[in-house]
Amino acid sequence: MKTTNKIALMLTVLIGFSISSCKKDQFVELNTNPQIIDLITPQQQFMNSILNMHGDRFEYYYDNFRAIMPWMQMVTPLNGNSVTFISDAANFRNVRYNNFYPKVGGNLTDMEQLIKKLPAEEQAKRIYQVEIARIVKAYYAFYVSDVTGSLAYTEAFMLRYGGTETPKYNTQESLFEILDTQLKNSVTILSTSQPVAQTSLAENDLFYQGAVANWIKVANSARLRMAMRLMKRDPAKMKTKVLEILAAPGGLINSAADGWVFRANATYADGGDWSAGGLRAPKQVVDFMYTNSDPRIRLFYQENSFTRANFDLAKAQNKIAASSVFDTRRFYGVPSSPDASSSPAFANFFNNISISVVNATNQTVNQTMDSLSFIQPRLFAAGENGGKGMNAFPIITYADVCFMRAELAARNVTTESAEDWYNKGVTASISFYDDLANKAQIVDRTGALSYVAVSPAEISNYMAKADIKYDASKGLDQIIGQAYLNFFKQPNEAWAIYKRTGMPNSTTVLKLEKIMASGTEQVIPRRASLPFPAPTNLNYQNIVDAYKLMQADPDFGQGPSDITGRVWWDKK
């Protein structure tokens, strides 16, 4: 296949996407007309890579909604988790891996190679473009390696440019150093004035519209996240890196406006496999948030169907006992443990009733009265049921950075104030989700817009609660619990913080359940199942060698397919 046709094939993924502030029509023409494909610019290839980072609906359907989020007690299916929901490895398909090869890493490599083909004077204008692309490529490699371990990286993506078709794998330990060095070098170059004016990525940069200062903060913040993965494996190295990063030029993400968040209009994620509709709220988290008056509860979840009006109708129609008392609480979740959700004690929550109501067109219809809460679907797919709002896909937010700095201070890795960064983190998280829910145009169970702005008084009230007000004696516990809540839209980070710290759990401030199925406590998965290559795979030997090397670590598990095994950083 000709190189131009290969590029055309990879870029057709853009067809059908509708992104705010993009010159879509021109770009689709470039991607689909083979006679002008060579006119694709490096910055357009950069935009394509960003779209591919977030545009795979299967990652949300399988990896997030059916695997990580149930495992982490962030959602349950409609009728609770099955007894096999943990052990079913097929729930987690590791879609990110196939996004990286070639749709993200390959395209970003193409971008750099396109620049190298330009005249020298033009290359000199695109030094910053190259470094920004390297930041994105490094972070996504880290994201993939986070659940797979060893990864083909330094020798990958270069076949069409004279490289090998059998790239060797980098171990995760070496990869962390490679990526950290790459990000550090990018910060140095982006912080250095160039002798010629740099060509901006402009609107092709769907994150920052080419603002270099923001990319410096992203690189430093990404280094901090990666460094904290070393906590169990090499705490001394982690501390050295953390202190260096905190002193790095350009600083870290330090405001909501700095956050690394991809935003797209409603048609980018509009239901179907993107949909969180039909997923229930988890009982333990809902109970914690309700008890402490967490304002995010109405942003994360929908109230149940028992409005006062519906309750009164149910009484009048003899669907509930005349002695029934209206329950003002409208948020209830499902236990994550299969044994708990299937127990007789919880059965009544699943026993819905039906009442007759008069709808907007003056017709009498039946309405199911559901006592349990759903996940707010438009928070994950703004286009759900014809929605017109905005989608947001956070990668590293200001709240994320606050919680990282709070944890490092609580562990005495730094001399910063854990309480100060914790308070900033909680406030930033609430503000982030308030803004996200507003722009996503969240709805209630009837489909009516339901967003109500969070008030400063609500935040103050929440921060004063005994479980929330910072207490140094349990500060680390509180920080992890709030970071976990903050990662509602970042399931991988909720999973990572659990693997790194063992929290939240059944004894922490935010108490999660012990997952029991048929009387047996379940072991939470910790990595992807790695497929064994067919002998006909051109890179068979390098893949097998990488697996053998990982398996030499007893923490890796029983073999490549063992999802309860661990990658290198996740040391027991």
**Sign of CA pseudo-dihedral 295, 300, 306, 308:** positive
Same domain, 202 and 278: no
Same domain, 191 and 237: yes
**Whether the Cβ atoms of residue 462 and residue 468 lie closer than 8 Å to each other:** yes
Residue 145 lies in a domain: yes
Same domain, 242 and 311: no
Residue 101 lies in a domain: yes
CB crowding 482-509: b at 16 or more within 10 Å, else e = bbbbbbbbbbbbbbbbbbbbebbeeebb
Report the pLDDT value the prediction gives residue 24, as an integer from 0 to 100: 33
In the numeric block, which tokens belong to residue 553?
């670590």
Is 518 exposed, middle or buried (CB count within 10 Å of its CB: 0-12, 13-18, 19+)? exposed
Report the pLDDT value the prediction gives residue 20, as an integer from 0 to 100: 36
Which structural domain, as residue segments, surrounds residue 242?
41-252
At 479, which CATH number? 1.20.120.840
Q: What is the pTM of this model?
A: 0.92
Alpha helix positions (H), 441-534:
456-463, 475-486, 491-501
At 80, which CATH number? 1.25.40.390
Same domain, 95 and 209: yes
Same domain, 456 and 400: yes
Same domain, 293 and 414: yes
In the numeric block, which tokens belong to residue 334?
């499902």
Report the pLDDT value the prediction gives residue 89, as an integer from 0 to 100: 63
Same domain, 283 and 214: no
Residue 308 lies in a domain: yes
Same domain, 247 and 277: no
Report the pLDDT value the prediction gives residue 22, as an integer from 0 to 100: 38
Per-residue confidence in pLDDT tens, the chain, 572 aa: 333 333 333 333 332 233 333 333 333 333 434 343 357 899 999 999 999 999 999 999 999 999 999 999 999 999 999 999 998 867 899 999 999 998 999 999 999 999 999 999 999 999 999 999 999 999 999 999 999 999 999 999 999 899 999 999 999 999 999 999 999 999 999 999 999 999 999 999 999 999 999 999 999 999 999 999 999 999 999 999 999 999 999 999 999 999 999 999 999 999 899 999 989 999 999 999 999 999 999 999 999 999 999 999 999 999 999 999 999 999 999 999 999 999 998 988 888 889 998 887 888 888 888 999 999 999 999 999 999 999 999 999 999 999 999 999 999 999 999 999 999 999 999 999 999 999 999 999 989 999 999 999 999 999 999 999 999 999 999 999 999 999 999 999 999 999 999 999 999 999 999 999 999 999 999 999 999 999 999 999 999 999 999 999 999 999 999 999 999 999 99
Report the pLDDT value the prediction gives residue 363, as an integer from 0 to 100: 86
Report the pLDDT value the prediction gives residue 358, as an integer from 0 to 100: 85
127 three-state secondary structure: helix
